[in-house]
Structure 1
Amino acid sequence: MNKEVENKMEDELRPKYDFTQMNGGVRGKYVERYRTGTNLVLLDPDIAQAFPDDTAVNEALRLLIQVSQRQQSNTAV
């Protein structure tokens, strides 16, 4: 951001917020719900280049699962 925009934003903020007036606020209220519905994975840069989006990653992992299952069934026979 340039200085003009930063200064404009700073001027709009109150110098002090009184959080005692915020009744019922609970820190981390939804954190467990968020964690159960989210599975974020950080890919190394070289891996990320091979997969343009989450669909490509999911397809590759499903293929890997299928290959692994076939290998297991071949060795079990």
Structure 2
Amino acid sequence: MKKEVNELEDELRPEYDFSKMQGGVRGKYIDRYRTGTNLVLLDPDVAQAFPTDASVNEALRLLMQIAQRQQPNNPVGVD
């Protein structure tokens, strides 16, 4: 018979006892991580329309081009 596993139970093996680990610092590299990352949480309806980071970037670049063309005297949008 298969043993039922409660999803709330810890799945780590007993030999992995992190309480004995010394020198570990939670969040030690978070500042370094954040400098190279720009994480944005999308609402579900937006995420469904733009399922990949590439599709989001493409849509935003197109929006930037449209906005630049709408501004008078803006040489950035001139082709």
Aligned to 2:21: 22
Q: Distance in 1 between matches of 2:3 and 2:12?
A: 13
What are the ranges of 5 or more consecutive residues in structure 2 without an aligned counterpart?
Answer: 75-79
Structure 1 residue runs without a partner (length 5+) = none
Q: TM-score scaled by structure 2?
A: 0.63
CA distance in 2, matches of 1:65, 1:44: 21
Q: Which residue of 2 aligns with 1:64?
A: 63
Q: Are the structure 2 counterparts of residues 37 and 5 from structure 1 closer, same or farther at C-alpha, using a change threshold of 3 Å?
A: farther
Structure 1 segments (4+ residues) deviating >4 Å:
9-12
How many residues in Structure 1 have an aligned counterpart in Structure 2?
71
Which gives a bigger RCO, structure 1 or 2 (Cα 8 Å, sep 6+)? 2
Which residue type is aligned with residue 45 of structure 2?
D
Question: Counterparts in 2 of 1:1-77, with a 5 A limit?
Answer: 4=3, 6=5, 13-14=13-14, 17=17, 19=19, 21-72=20-71, 74=72, 76=73
Residue 15 of structure 1 deviates from its aligned partner by 8.7
Which protein has the bigger helix share? 1
Cα distance change of structure 1 residues 18 and 31 upon mapping to structure 2, 3 Å threshold:
closer
